[in-house]
Amino acid sequence: MQLKEMITADEIASIVRRMGTEISRDYEGKELLVVCVLKGSAIFFADLVRRLTCTTEMDFVRLTSYGANVTSSGNVVMTKDLDSCIEGRHVLIVEDIIETGHTTRFLVDLLANRRPASLKICTLLKKNVPEKPEIVVDYLGTAIEDRFVVGYGLDLNEKFRNLPSVCFLEK
């Protein structure tokens, strides 16, 4: 197994700057609760919230559907819920990657039932994968081909999260 760089650290920084500007513009004058989906989104989340100029609060959820596999089981489990009440608040979910869409759909459905004023999705990466549930991404970093990727928070069995770029695994 060999790692091949897909998105450089400089490209990621440029994407995060652009997204921070877009989100800040859209939430100007509003208070925003930014929700990090742990663990994979943590690095992207930290970089992104530092780019936001609107008033923000942060909260965290943890979901899993992979276990030790490289493909989703389709079975989503929440292991950490929000600490904040989101009723009547503007909420932005921050994902590292949307692959099958099952995890994001689970979270959106769960949070929508809590009656936020608005609920939007921000993701660094979205895989071009057919037959996934319709997920409207409000802020997209970039679309990528259907490869297993690691780095910049993304992992394989908890390894490679610390890489500054996004890489794919080549056998």
Q: What was the pLDDT predicted at 141?
A: 98
Q: Considering 31, 95, 99, 170, which one is annotated as catalytic?
A: 99
| pLDDT of 68 above 60 | no
Q: What was the pLDDT predicted at 129?
A: 79
Q: Are 34 and 89 in contact (CB under 8 A)?
A: no
The sign of the dihedral angle between the CA atoms of 17, 40, 119, 72 is positive
As a whole number of angstroms, the distance between CA 125 and CA 141 comes to 6
In terms of Cα–Cα distance, which of 55, 59, 51, 53 is closest to 19? Answer: 51
Fold of 8-148: Rossmann fold (3.40.50)
Domain boundaries, the chain: 8-148
**Which tens digits make up the pLDDT trace of 21-50?**
999 999 999 999 999 999 999 999 999 999
99 as an active site residue: the answer is yes
**Which tens digits make up the pLDDT trace of 45-63?**
999 999 999 999 999 999 9
Q: Are 44 and 75 in contact (CB under 8 A)?
A: no
Q: How confident is the model at residue 100 (pLDDT cuts 50, 70, 90)?
A: confident
Q: DSSP readout, 90-128?
A: EEEEEEEEESSSHHHHHHHHHHHTT--SEEEEEEEEEE-
Q: What was the pLDDT predicted at 170?
A: 84
